[in-house]
Structure 1
Amino acid sequence: MTLALRVHPTNASRRRSAWLAASLRVLPAVPTLLFLLVFFIVPVGEILQGGLVTSDGTFGFAQYERIARTPVYAKVLWITFAISFMTAAFSVALGYPVAYLLSRVSERVRERWLLWIMLPFWTSYLVKTYAWMLLLSKTGVLSTMALALGIVHQTNGTIPSLTGVLIGMVHSMLPLAVMTMLPVMRGIDDRLGQAAQTLGAERSTSFFTVFLPLSSPGVAAAGLLVFISSLGFFIVPALLGSPRETMIAQLVISSVLELFDMHFAGALSTVLLICSIAIFFVYDRMVGLASLTGEVSDKRRASRAQGVKLALLMTLGRVCAPLVRRRGGVQAQVEGVRVFSPLGLFTMATLVVLVVPVLSVIPYAFTRSDFITFPPKLFSLRWFGTFASSPVWQGAFVRSFGVGFGTAVLSLVLGFGATLAMTRMPQRATKPLFALLVAPLIVPRIVVAVGLLYLLSRFGLTGTNTGLIIGHTVLAIPYVVVTLAAGFQRFDWRLDDAARVMGASPLQRIRTVVLPLLMASVTAAFLFAFLVSFDDLTIAIFVSGGVNTTLPKQMWDDIQLAITPTLAAVSTLLIVLIAVVIAMSSWLKHRAR
């Protein structure tokens, strides 16, 4: 007689199996984590260390004492925070009605409107700032038209001034605010407002007590992202502002490129980094970092604040009810997407202000004149020929294109693996991984650039295409992960399970199942990563080298000397490139459906 023994797995073997399965799920994200560890976390640590090194090479707080005892640095820090706060406030206030309307319309209409928002969003900061220089200068379009119409008899232009800086920065950040608030607003169930109205609430009261509180996480997230992004601005204040509007990023660049004081630049970057961390801490205590994903992290901690906010919003709703009732109510303004409703007219006007300044550069590219004048003397392709025949411009364009392609490939490979691992991991492990992957998007870019300069100079990679690709990949990974995450959320994993049951290996399943079904998201992520690299100036200033620069760096060098029609021709080419990329992304999205 044969004895059949049934072996039951022990707890240790179960734990080993669970650990092995978890390790296999996180394995695709390991290269990305190592890349960010070496080229993002370590450089930021280098900044903290570099700021503690004195001029004679010893450790100490002399650099920070220099900042503390010099009033001009405290003033620049205050100006930086003030401008960033005003930019965030204006961007959220102007963007909220636009995001609200887009969240209430049909999918088809929303996509059409988003195309116009994406154009200024992805257009180079240099191009947008160059456009405002043409519009707001003393001899610009607005001043010339005002004088011709007799509105004013004399004008000095709007720039350089604080007003010009705020116009340029809000114009750059407004699309970011809209696109941050929109997903949260789209997730709000319309039936909640209808239920409030069924119980007797006015439309305005329903809006202020139901929709507005539920959309507040999106508002907070938009304000935070715009504020942090604005802290590292230097293009707009340098070109549209006066010395009174100098921001801390300009001091960092000046310390490196003019004073050659790397340690002081590290100290300034550390101050900016510490301020950003402090802002995140205060934000977490008041709102909760989970609100970045539209969630409430601690209801007990926020209950009192929520109660006060709810009472204030209800009072505001009662006060606004008579005014809104006269205009047909908030909901009535959106139903049917009436273009001539107040909300529709405001949204259309906002989009016009976003798009027209960008497109206003194009006529100057075809002028016959040797300099910029309004109206431009049309029609000539002379300045496109100047761009095409210039070795300097052509070298910059070729280098930007090559670096952009390399960045897109590397960031797509790293981002795809990390996103694939994130979708297969438990929820509690997904959030910290996602936070690390998008951290380069939140940390001020000037801090990342200075940290990379510290690191890459040790390996002799400054001035090389490899160094540029590494730096741009750090910036592009968050965009790739966010784009791919949206595609993975719609992916049916039962198809992957079916291929696994049929005996396909993991690589075969990715090649034959996952990639074909996610090709639209993969292509969009590739294009966005290419644009991030092609448009970057901050990393290029510190890493590209001084002889053979990138296209944005060449534009930056030229625009500080003179506003020439050649810059208009280059800007036009960049606008066309952005439009082509956005059109391709939209076409691929429709084709995937």
Structure 2
Amino acid sequence: MTIALHVQRENATARRGRSIVLARCLRFLPIVPTLLFLLVFFIVPVGEILQGGLVGADGQIGFAQFERIARTPVYAKVLWITFAISFLTAALSILLGYPVAYMLSRLPERVRERWLLWVMLPFWTSYLVKTYAWMLLLSKTGVLSIIALSLGLVHETSGTIPSLTGVLIGMVHSMLPLAVMTMLPVMRGIDERLAQAAETLGAQRSMSFFTVFLPLSSPGVAAAGLLVFISSLGFFIVPALLGSPKETMIAQLVISSVLELFDMRFAGALSTVLLICSIVIFFVYDRMVGLTSLTGEVTERSRGSRAQGVRLALLITAGRVFAPFVMRRKAHADTTARAASPLGLYTCIIMIVLVAPVLSVIPYAFTTSDYIAFPPKLFSTRWFGTFMDSPVWRSAIIRSFEVGLGTALLSLLLGFGATLAMTRMPRRASKPVFALLVAPLIVPRIVVAVGLLYLFGRLGLTGTNLGLVIGHTVLAIPYVVVTLAAGFQRFDWRLDDAARVMGASPLRRITSIVLPLLTASVSAAFLFAFLVSFDDLTIAIFVSGGINSTLPKQMWDDIQLAITPTLAAVSTTLVILIALVVAVSSWLKRRAR
């Protein structure tokens, strides 16, 4: 009898152990489709780029393509220009965006949301629209040149473009919102009581900022620098339209190698160089700051790194140097984040600079002239009619909507399951998983596009909507994961545990508890994924194929031929669409709260 009871207890214990193991495995099951998707459509294509770059013109494995890059001065110069422009763009974006992010982080939440609307509008506006706007502003016959001549500031002008200055203006304008949006979550997570304590102990306001706030916000600064630099490495729209041949960047060479020279192996070698540089930067960033700062989380490593002592000494010195120039306040509660303060005035100026170029294209859409001229002769809507009546433009916008919605649904499905499983993983396991999920955000888009061209050529997906949806989903998954991860960080998992104890199934808990409480994050992730697809040009250039292209691809083809009022009508339509998306996202967030 005793032996039988002992055997029953052992069997029951074994069953409970198997149930626990099974339950833990089921918790990680939602991430499996996402990992398989990225394996097939991201890791494999990137691996093929590495392999293709090692194949010479004679078909032999070697470093002939890389030797060609190293031996040819033109390619070395283009690489240097690419890194120099990317570094300048990152530095200027951080320097200009840090005060804006700082002010927004000090504002009450409702006021901050109103300001963020003006950051989100240029943030999600198409790169083509923003570049088109700067072409209208900076050209020889552009708005700024005509105004300068009219005011007698100059006697003659050749315009600001094409030039390095024009490229930097266009790229910083495109990347500045990204820098602000990346730094803001980290700044919001800094406890204001730390600065209060420093000031209570006698520290000047400038000293408390340089020794408390700035070190704690450094992970956000590093994350912004990383994302802006990596994104800038793959830029080709701005340098192609606002720059001269002297400002040619490596992505332009990749596109030329594929579409004009049909040299896929050399394009693979150029893409490999970009990829290796991105991986090195990515690794250094992870070692210094940690990947979790991309979601706004400040790690213990970033709070107390080995370099913290040296950095703190430099910041204390800077605080002493700049103390006389920093306005002091009587009380910490008397916030500096006001429009009447110097910081508020600076933020207003930056907002105007961000939004005004985007809105400046709108009057040209209603011109009665057959060409672009300043000031535009108003008022006519015929260019909207030309846009909507054209079979080419109509087909492009319909295809963009179809691909965008398909991308949003697929990326949200994959990203939600992956983020849900990742939040339940041990920290040691979640870190490499998160690194893989955001890797498409780190790797330049041009590298992903060339890799997908290799793969889709064999699978017969080139020129299909499915191929575009897959390619855009690869790009959108990081945005979905980062957006949902920030929402899951604030989610109270005790509610889910209570439902589980009461017998609710996993699916029932997700549909009745998790999704309703994360409506704002899920909606924002869906909209972001849609905009990533709708705005993409890089994947479309390589994958769309045929006459029926997407809207950004059609704009790219037309804008290289001539700057017409039809393009202004298309740009205005896109600006209105982005404004509606941003407004809906903000409304859903307020409603969820």
Same-fold call, TM > 0.5? yes
Shift of 1:285: 4.9
Query: Residue 186 of structure 2 contacts residue 293 of structure 2 at CA under 8 Å; is this kept in 1?
Result: no
Shift of 1:291: 5.0
Match of 1:435 in 2: 435
1:96 maps to amino acid: Y
Q: Output the CA distance in 2 between the equivalents of 1:114 and 1:480.
A: 19
Q: Output the CA distance in 2 between the equivalents of 1:496 and 1:296.
A: 28
Shift of 1:283: 3.5
Q: Output the CA distance in 2 between the equivalents of 1:362 and 1:332.
A: 43
Match of 1:135 in 2: 137
Q: Output the CA distance in 1 between the equivalents of 2:330 and 2:247.
A: 39
Match of 1:214 in 2: 216
Query: Residue 219 of structure 2 contacts residue 302 of structure 2 at CA under 8 Å; is this kept in 1?
Result: no
Backbone CA RMSD of aligned residues: 2.0
Instruction: Give the alignment of 1:39-118 within 5 angstroms.
Output: 39-118=41-120
Shift of 1:418: 0.7
Instruction: Give the alignment of 1:298-317 within 5 angstroms.
Output: 302-303=305-306, 305-317=307-319
Query: Residue 100 of structure 1 contacts residue 185 of structure 1 at CA under 8 Å; is this kept in 2?
Result: yes
1:462 maps to amino acid: T
Query: Residue 291 of structure 1 contacts residue 297 of structure 1 at CA under 8 Å; is this kept in 2?
Result: no
Q: Output the CA distance in 1 between the equivalents of 2:300 and 2:520.
A: 32
Match of 2:448 in 1: 448
- What SS does structure 1 have at the residue aligned with 2:111? helix
Q: Deviations over 1:280-317 (max 9, x none)?
A: 334345555565442243878x33x2222211211111
Match of 1:517 in 2: 517
- What SS does structure 2 have at the residue aligned with 1:166? helix
Match of 2:408 in 1: 408
Q: Output the CA distance in 2 between the equivalents of 1:136 and 1:144.
A: 10
Residue among 34, 37, 41 paired with 1:35: 37
- What SS does structure 2 have at the residue aligned with 1:406? helix
Q: Output the CA distance in 2 between the equivalents of 1:322 and 1:513.
A: 53
Instruction: Give the alignment of 1:408-487 within 5 angstroms.
Output: 408-487=408-487
Alpha-carbon spacing, 1:181–1:9, altered in 2? closer, same or farther (3 Å): farther
Match of 1:564 in 2: 564
Residue among 288, 294, 299 paired with 1:295: 299
Query: Residue 404 of structure 2 contacts residue 534 of structure 2 at CA under 8 Å; is this kept in 1?
Result: yes
1:194 maps to amino acid: Q
Q: Output the CA distance in 1 between the equivalents of 2:452 and 2:198.
A: 53
1:275 maps to amino acid: C
Query: Residue 249 of structure 1 contacts residue 446 of structure 1 at CA under 8 Å; is this kept in 2?
Result: yes
Q: Output the CA distance in 1 between the equivalents of 2:215 and 2:334.
A: 19
Amino-acid identity (%):
80
1:20 maps to amino acid: L
Query: Residue 30 of structure 2 contacts residue 418 of structure 2 at CA under 8 Å; is this kept in 1?
Result: yes
Q: Deviations over 1:501-544 (max 9, x none)?
A: 44332223323333233233222211111111110000000000
Alpha-carbon spacing, 1:411–1:126, altered in 2? closer, same or farther (3 Å): same
Q: Does 2:503 match 1:503?
A: yes
- What SS does structure 2 have at the residue aligned with 1:375? coil
Q: Deviations over 1:53-89 (max 9, x none)?
A: 1223332222111111101000000000000000000
Shift of 1:209: 1.0
Q: Output the CA distance in 1 between the equivalents of 2:146 and 2:261.
A: 40
Q: Bigger CA drift: 546-555 or 330-339?
A: 330-339
Q: Output the CA distance in 2 between the equivalents of 1:491 and 1:311.
A: 38
Alpha-carbon spacing, 1:76–1:296, altered in 2? closer, same or farther (3 Å): farther
Match of 2:325 in 1: 323
Alpha-carbon spacing, 1:237–1:200, altered in 2? closer, same or farther (3 Å): same
Q: Output the CA distance in 2 between the equivalents of 1:392 and 1:289.
A: 43
Q: Output the CA distance in 2 between the equivalents of 1:515 and 1:287.
A: 31
Shift of 1:13: 6.7
Instruction: Give the alignment of 1:209-358 within 5 angstroms.
Output: 209-287=211-289, 289=291, 292=294, 293-297=297-301, 302-303=305-306, 305-324=307-326, 327-329=327-329, 335=335, 337-358=337-358
- What SS does structure 2 have at the residue aligned with 1:263? helix
- What SS does structure 2 have at the residue aligned with 1:371? coil
Q: Does 2:487 match 1:490?
A: no
Shift of 1:12: 7.3
Match of 2:587 in 1: 587
Shift of 1:481: 1.3
Alpha-carbon spacing, 1:514–1:289, altered in 2? closer, same or farther (3 Å): closer
Q: Output the CA distance in 1 between the equivalents of 2:216 and 2:514.
A: 35
Q: Deviations over 1:543-583 (max 9, x none)?
A: 00031100000000000000000000000000010000011
Q: Bigger CA drift: 488-497 or 193-202?
A: 488-497
Alpha-carbon spacing, 1:331–1:88, altered in 2? closer, same or farther (3 Å): farther
Alpha-carbon spacing, 1:487–1:338, altered in 2? closer, same or farther (3 Å): closer
Q: Output the CA distance in 1 between the equivalents of 2:505 and 2:20.
A: 20
Alpha-carbon spacing, 1:330–1:424, altered in 2? closer, same or farther (3 Å): farther
Q: Output the CA distance in 2 between the equivalents of 1:95 and 1:202.
A: 24
1:39 maps to amino acid: F
Query: Residue 132 of structure 1 contacts residue 168 of structure 1 at CA under 8 Å; is this kept in 2?
Result: yes
Q: Bigger CA drift: 216-225 or 11-20?
A: 11-20
Shift of 1:185: 0.9
Q: Output the CA distance in 2 between the equivalents of 1:198 and 1:72.
A: 59
1:238 maps to amino acid: A
1:583 maps to amino acid: A
Match of 2:382 in 1: 382
Q: Output the CA distance in 2 between the equivalents of 1:409 and 1:65.
A: 44
Q: Bigger CA drift: 486-495 or 70-79?
A: 486-495
Query: Residue 362 of structure 2 contacts residue 568 of structure 2 at CA under 8 Å; is this kept in 1?
Result: yes
Query: Residue 95 of structure 1 contacts residue 174 of structure 1 at CA under 8 Å; is this kept in 2?
Result: yes
- What SS does structure 2 have at the residue aligned with 1:155? coil
Alpha-carbon spacing, 1:299–1:405, altered in 2? closer, same or farther (3 Å): closer
* Structure 2 gap segments, 5+ residues each: none
Q: Bigger CA drift: 274-283 or 156-165?
A: 274-283
Q: Output the CA distance in 1 between the equivalents of 2:70 and 2:61.
A: 17
Instruction: Give the alignment of 1:194-213 within 5 angstroms.
Output: 194-213=196-215
Match of 1:543 in 2: 543
1:213 maps to amino acid: P
2:141 maps to amino acid: T
Shift of 1:394: 0.5
Q: Deviations over 1:451-508 (max 9, x none)?
A: 1101111101001101000000001111111222233233333333343344332223
Query: Residue 44 of structure 1 contacts residue 447 of structure 1 at CA under 8 Å; is this kept in 2?
Result: yes
Query: Residue 383 of structure 2 contacts residue 569 of structure 2 at CA under 8 Å; is this kept in 1?
Result: yes
- Taking structure 1 as the reference length, the TM-score comes to 0.95
Shift of 1:97: 0.3
- What SS does structure 2 have at the residue aligned with 1:338? coil
Match of 2:124 in 1: 122
- What SS does structure 2 have at the residue aligned with 1:188? coil
Query: Residue 407 of structure 2 contacts residue 530 of structure 2 at CA under 8 Å; is this kept in 1?
Result: yes
Shift of 1:332: 6.7
Q: Output the CA distance in 1 between the equivalents of 2:134 and 2:341.
A: 29
- Taking structure 2 as the reference length, the TM-score comes to 0.95
1:243 maps to amino acid: P
Shift of 1:4: 4.7
Shift of 1:195: 1.0
Shift of 1:203: 0.9
